[in-house]
Each structure stands twice: as structure tokens, then as C-alpha cells.
Structure 1
Amino acid sequence: MDKQIGYGRWKAPADVMARAMARMRERERAGGPRKAVIGSGKEALAEAIRRYPNDPLRQLAMFLDASPLPALIGRAREVSAKTRTNHGDMLRGAIGDLKAINMKVQRLDQLNRRQVMALAAYWTHEKGQTPGTVANKLSALRKFFTQVGRQDVVPKREALYEALAVTGVSQQMVTRQQVALDTKAWTPKGVVPLEVIEEVRETYPHEALLMELMLAWGLRVSEALGLRPHSSDTPNFLLVHRETKGGRWRKVPYMKDAQKAAYQRDVLNRCRQWAEKSRRLEMGYPKLTLQQARSRLYNVMAEIGVTLEQRGVVCHGLRHEFAGDMFFDITRHRPPSENGADSDWYKQNKTLVADAYQQVSEALGHWRREISSAYLGSPTKMSKAQRERMEQSMQLIAGNPDVKQGLVAAGVEQFWITGPAADGVLLRAGEAMQVAGRFQEGWTAENLKQVHEVLRAGVARPIQFVVSLEAQPQGETLEIFLDR
């Protein structure tokens, strides 16, 4: 009997799903730049140089018009018009900048690695451009050279950093910050996702379901709006294949935790029921384009206060919440961005952590494991950042002689930083730093009042002070040694 997947008024035959999965596996195997791109614009460049032998800008204009600009990853496709325009602007800017540093060229085939490295140094040292901007410009040059069959002119990774070091440009100057030093997930910021979603459901049931798709399955806003749950629902995972970044399909698995998996199943079942109302069986808004649908959803989020200004979180944070939950589901530890385990644990479990990063990356729709660091943080960088935060917190007290002397005068015998700050956790704006103090015998309410006045006057952030009746408070502590 021919098996079918789905129910209701639309059913996907098993052979349709099988063909779809085969196409997805082909895309997965394709991973990375396509070989067909290499040298694809060589003839177009030669013709442009022949027609305009001494005008590099006209050569570039003709080359861009005549040569397709394919995406290097994801499905085989042309990049968007906006991306194409930005690409051309960056290449034109590079030609102009070469003239500014006395390295003017007459023909685009004269461009070489020495000039590229000089441009990177100029952008970094003279123009003071950000690492992200410099990285984008180098990427545009790399794509150009790949199209004309000279892909080695702009090297990658370590080879690039070594070549740039000669010009005084460090890796940090051309590398985007892709490590989350502070989580964007909701729960660590004191916002309970399901409580907010239930609040939203009272007035906006559709938007509440879209939020649950992001929370339960890690979908982007566009993916949630474009989802057709009947065709994406499989027994072991959710097939995400519409409105994805770069057109790249992916499989999002069920969590190992039974309760989490049950929630994922429940969300998907309710989405299937909701989609039955749509002629195309999808979760988006009828008669709205994707851009209009995104705007409508964001307007609702602003109305209910899901903004950085009002609640300290945004809709995309639900995707970060999913990433953290999946990392915990695999490792039983919260991710580095949430200070979920000490650095020794990460060192002892390198293989498990690496596997978790890879699985999270793939579930989120990325093909590089290191992209997960933008969601989960990095054990190495987090441990360094934690130490720096701990030192900064201690300096607020220890670096202020007036505060230390005031505490001693108020009868404080020992003083500690406690709570999240003692563990190097980044405190939110306006969040009080927790501290504790042990008084000398015979202290009174007047001593406590005096301590509050000293801290309020001398520390440039809110402080929550508690009296410790023990030799040392429970939990993590940083002791501030008082001068006597």
C-alpha cells in the first residue's frame, strides 16, 4: 500500500517526501563554494579589458553586467539584486582606494595579492574601519578573483592572517565577533518564554503559535511564517525547506528529553490544525508578502512589549533559547554564554562539546560548527570574559579607597561580592550587584544604614547588600580585603 505522510485535505505521498529528502542530501553534500563558480567570469573579464584597456571602472561595470554572480553556499542561485549592488560598490571602492594609496591599476587582471594586503592595511589603519566591514570587502574581492580563476589571490583563514600580519593587520582586525559573550535567550534574562506566549495568545493566537515555532524548533521568523507543517512533519524531525537562508534545507530533530519532545510534538500538531484554515496550508498571513508578514509580526511584538527597551528581549531570542536548550539536551550543561559549566568541564569533554556545537549549528541551518558560538558562546572566550567581569566588579569596591574606609568605619569586618557577579556573569543594565558583609559584634541598624549610604554614594551601579552571619556566604564569592 502506498504510504502517505500527513492528514486533512492534503497528503504528501511517501515518494514525494523521498525525492525531497534526496534533494536535501545533495545540497548537504554540496556544502562550500561550488567548483563551477571558479573561472566562470574569465571570458567576460577578458572582453571587458579588450574593450576598455585603460579604464578599470568601465572594465568592472562591463564585467558585472556580463558575469553572473552566484551564491557560494546554499542552493544554486543568483544572489539578490541588493547583494549584487553591494558587491559592485565594494569592488569600485577598492579600485578608488588603490588610487588613493598610489597603487592605481589600468587593468583588472593586474590586481594581485600585494595590493589586496595593502588595501586591508589602508582600510584598517588609515580609515579605521570595523572588522566586519574589512571582512566584507575582502570577501567581495575573494569572490571576484574566484570568478576570474585566481582564487588564491585572497587566501583564507590562517594563510590570510599570516599575509596580513606583514602589513601590521592582526586577525582581530579582520574577524567579525561571532562569539556570544552574553546570551540573547530569554530565560537567563528573567523572562519566561511560555508565560509571555500565553499572555500573547489571549489577543494574538496566531502570533503566539509563530513564537512557539521559534522556541520549540529554533526557526527564524521567515521560516516560521513560511512553514507548511503538513509537508514538513516527519516522524523523527521537522523538515525546514521554505524561506530558509540561502535556500538550504535542514532537519531539526526532536529533543532527547521526553518533556521537551512532547512539547515540540504538541506545537507541531497545533500548527497543523491552524494551517488547515489556510488555502496553502501554511503558517503565514494570507495575501501578504513575506516582507509584509515580517513587518506585521514585528509590529505585534512591539505592541506587546517584546523589545529590548521594554522587556530586554526580542523575538529572535527564542531561537537562542532553543539553541541553549538543545545544547543542554546533548551535554546536560547550559552553554558557555549562560555560564553553564566551568572551563575545566569543557576541557574534559571536548568531544561531547564539539559534537553538540555541530548538532546545534545544523539544527539552526548553518553549515559551520563555529557559527554556534554566536548562539552558545565559546568556553575559552567566556572564561576570559568572566575573569575580566569579576575583576571589574571587584574594582568597583577595591579600587575606591573611600568606599573601603567607609565600610571599615561602619563596622564591617569582612566584605564579599556574591551572586552572578561573583561568577563573572554579565549583569543587565540597572541590575543590582549582590554583596554581603559581616559586621563586628554589637552592630546595630545604624551600622547597616551607614553601609547603605557608603555604597550608594561610592559605587556607580545599584547594590543589593545583605548581612552575613556566617564566616562566609553560601555560593560563589569574591572577597574584598578591607584595609584596617
Structure 2
Amino acid sequence: MIAPQLSAALEDWLAQGRARRGLATKTSEAYRADVAAFLVFLARHNGGAEGTEALRRMASSDLRAFMAHERERGLSARSLARRLSAIRGFCGWLASREGFDASVALSARGPRGRTRLPRPLTPDAARDMIDAVETDAAEPWVAARDAAVVTLLYGLGLRISEALGLRGAQSDLPATLRITGKGGKERVVPVLPAARVAVADYVRLCPLRIAKDGPLFLGVQGGQLSPRLVQRSMERARMRLGLPATATPHALRHSFATHLLAAGGDLRAIQELLGHASLSTTQGYTAVEVGQLLDVYDKAHPRA
């Protein structure tokens, strides 16, 4: 049970995040769950619901107990780090408003999770994947639809949610697309001719009405296409091609970044195309060798 005073403060913090930083709904919900989990634990840990006084008197041992509790529940190191980030943000904001020292919360650091290196497809495998998906479905329009989605993932570096979030009004793809990604962050991506052709083929073959204010990619019942159907199509394709289980829709996004960088693309430009807030995240999406990375840096920053 969270004390009403803290519950109200949490909602105020989230409301300010949405108003001032454009916090996306899903992000706001995740932050609420993260902070609420901690406040519930802290109340139980201290023997009952308390207000801000519980945060004023919080010790490092309280945070360590919370982290141990979450790990015992099976929370991954990465998820725990995200949860601690939300807790730090809330406690820092509340401390500033209420006038108390939040150094215990602000100095909290979670366990380091093992970085999972992405496994992009080779350029040939990526092209083979698109071809295999296109020949998978019995209905020509469904085959064209799935091929168009996969082409957008690889050719534009879109997340599957971003591709399936396109609207009917965008069916005639322009030279550039404005994409709203995670956290409401907008970016502009150039549209390759191959992607424009793939989407046009799908629209031409689709027997269903694609409303301008509705989803561009439709399921057979006329609703928005489910990400799971695209995943299944790729699963069948990769089995036929003998590709590993890591050949997923998101792997095509990895491949987009990796192949651009390997061809000499600028890391900062690729960061913008992917919509990453941090350059280090973009580096994690690329699987080229260190020597290739250094070549790119040398070209961007030639020595005298």
C-alpha cells in the first residue's frame, strides 16, 4: 500500500514528465510501475505505509534490500537498472520539491547486465529473407504485404512497431518519412526506391479498403496487421534459408545500421536514422570489426 501523499506525488511527477519532456504513455506507465514497486516494498520494509518521511530516512541498506528482493523475483539486471533510474528520477524531483537530501537514492547503482551483442544478417541473407517472405504466403497480396514490411525494416531501419504504425495516408511513400519512435522522439528517414515499390505493390494487390486515417498494413480480417504475423513469416523463411533463430524482425534493423557503417556511413548520421538518444546505443547496434570503426573515425577526423 502506497501512502496517499506519495501516490499523489508520483502522479504529479509523471504529469510533469509528460508535459515538459513529452514522456510517451508507455514510458509513463513503465515509470509508474517501477516507482510504485519500490514504494510498496519500502512501506512493507518499514512496517507500514508512510509518506515522504520514508524517503527522507531511507538508507543505502533499504535500496540494497529492494534490489535483492527484485533479483529474487527474477528481474533481470537490465530491468532493475531501468527501475532504479525511475526511482532516482522520482526521488530527485520530490527532494527538490520537499527540500530533503536524496543523495542515497541518487547514488544508487544497479548490477551491470551482460551486453547482448546483436547478430545482424549479412547483406545477402537480408535480401534472401525478403525474397523468402515474399514467396511464403498463398495469397499474393499477403505475400506482397509481408515483403513490404520486411523491406521497411531493412531498408529504412524501422522498428516493427514503427512500420506497422504507418497510416493509409502514407501509402504513396514520399521521399522522406517522419517517424515517431520510442519516447515520442521524431526522426526523418529517407525512403529507398525499393521500399516505395514494395509498398506500392502491396497497396495495388490488397483487396481490402485502406483508409487514409487507418493502418496501412492490414490483416486478412481488415484490422491492423499483428507484429506476431510478421514474426511468424520470418520464422518460416529463416527455417527454409537455414538462418539462425536470431534472424528476427529486429535483426533487420541491426543489419541496416551495420551495413551502413561497414560501407563507410557516418556514425552520427546512423544514430539520427535509428532515432537513438545516445551514440553508445548506436555503437551497440553495429557489428563491424574494430578496424572498420577506426577507419570511419579516421575519415571523419583526419589527423594533420
TM-score, with normalisation over the residues of structure 2?
0.68
Instruction: Note if 1:325 corresponds to 2:272.
Output: no
1:364 has 2:274 as partner = yes
Unaligned 5+ segments in structure 2 are 138-142, 291-304
Counterpart of 1:142, as a letter, is R
Equivalent residue in structure 2 for 1:153, among 94, 102, 113: 102
- The corresponding residue for 1:238 is 177
Match of 2:51 among 107, 122, 127: 107
Summarize the Cα distance change of 1:136–1:288 in structure 2 as closer, same or farther, 3 Å threshold.
Answer: farther
Residue equivalent to 1:294: 227
TM superposition shift of 1:220: 0.8
Give the distance between the partners of 2:289 and 2:125, measured in 1 at CA.
25
Letter in 2 for 1:233: P
Under a length normalisation based on structure 1, what TM-score does the superposition of the two structures give?
A: 0.46
Structure 1 distance, partners of 2:20, 2:222, is 28
1:215 equivalent in alignment to 2:154:
yes
Whether the 8 Å CA contact 2:166–2:215 is kept in 1: the answer is yes
Query: Are the equivalent residues in 1 in contact too, given 2:38–2:66 (CA < 8 A)?
Result: no
User: Any gaps of 5 or more consecutive residues in structure 1?
Assistant: 1-54, 165-170, 255-263, 332-355, 381-484
Match of 2:62 in 1: 119
In structure 2, how many angstroms separate the alpha carbons of the residues matched to 1:231 and 1:117?
56
- 2-structure distance, mates of 1:358, 1:72: 28
Which has the larger helix fraction? 2
Q: Residue 321 and residue 304 in structure 1: after superposition, are their counterparts in 2 closer, same or farther (change >3 A)?
A: same
AA of the residue aligned to 1:320 = H
Rounded to whole Å, the distance in 2 between the matches of 1:96 and 1:110 is 8
| Structure with greater Cα Rg | 1
Q: Which residue does 1:184 correspond to in 2?
A: 119
Give the structure 2 partner of residue 314 of structure 1: 248
What root-mean-square deviation, in Å, do the aligned CA atoms of Structure 1 and Structure 2 show? Answer: 4.1
Q: SS of the residue aligned with 2:217?
A: coil
Structure 1 residues 195, 299: closer, same or farther in 2, change over 3 A? closer
Q: Residue in 2 aligned with 1:86? A: 33
- Kept in 2: contact 1:232–1:238 (CA 8 A): yes
Mapped pair 1:375 → 2:280: no
Q: Structure 1's 133 and 83: CA in aligned 2 closer, same or farther, altered over 3 A? A: closer
Whether 2:134 is the aligned partner of 1:201: answer yes
CA contact (8 A) 2:3 2:50 kept: no
Question: Structure 1 residues 107 and 373, CA, compared in 2 at 3 Å: closer, same or farther?
Answer: same
Alignment partners' CA distance in 1, 2:287 and 2:104: 27
CA contact 2:133–2:147 (8 Å) conserved in 1: yes
Residues 274 and 116 of structure 1: is their aligned pair in 2 closer, same or farther, counting only changes over 3 Å? farther
Offset of residue 214 of structure 1: 0.6
Structure 1 residue 208: Cα displacement = 1.3
When the two structures are aligned, how many residues end up with a matched partner? 268
Aligned counterpart for 2:185 among listed residues 248, 252, 257: 248
CA distance in 2, matches of 1:150, 1:322: 43
Q: Which has the higher contact order (CA 8 A, sep 6+)?
A: 2
Give the Å deviation of 1:285.
Answer: 0.8
Per-residue deviation, 1:226: 2.2
* Displaced runs of 4 or more, over 6 A: none
Is the 8 Å Cα contact of residues 59 and 104 (structure 2) preserved in structure 1? no
Q: Deviations for 1:227-252, whole angstroms, at most 9, x for unmatched residues? A: 35457623xx43324xx322221122
Residues 116 and 302 of structure 1: CA distance in aligned 2, closer, same or farther (over 3 Å): farther
**Partners of 2:275 and 2:20 in 1: how far apart?**
12
Deviation for aligned residue 1:319: 0.5
Distance apart, 1:124 and its partner CA: 4.8
Distance of 1:95 and 1:133 partners within structure 2? 19
Shift of 1:361: 2.2
Name 1:269's counterpart in structure 2. Answer: 197
Taking every aligned residue pair, what percent have the same amino acid on both sides?
Answer: 18
Q: CA deviation at 1:206?
A: 1.2
1:23-72 C-alpha deviation (Å, 9 max, x unpaired): xxxxxxxxxxxxxxxxxxxxxxxxxxxxxxxx963433444567644449
* Cα displacement string for residues 84-128 of structure 1 (whole angstroms, at most 9, x for unaligned residues): 65235423344146428xxx884314514x836333433456765
C-alpha distance in structure 1 between counterparts of 2:283 and 2:238, whole Å: 28
For 2:301, the equivalent position in structure 1 comes to none
**1:60 and 2:9 are equivalent in the alignment:** no
**Correspondences of 1:326-365 after superposition (within 5 Å):** 326-330=260-264, 356-365=266-275
SS of 1:186's partner is: coil
1:205 to partner: Cα distance: 2.1
Which amino acid counterpart does residue 38 of structure 2 have in structure 1? Answer: L
Give me the whole-angstrom Cα distance separating, in 2, the residues matched to 1:154 and 1:379.
Answer: 40
Cross-structure match for 1:445: none
Structure 1 residues 300 and 121 mapped into 2: Cα distance closer, same or farther (>3 Å)?
same
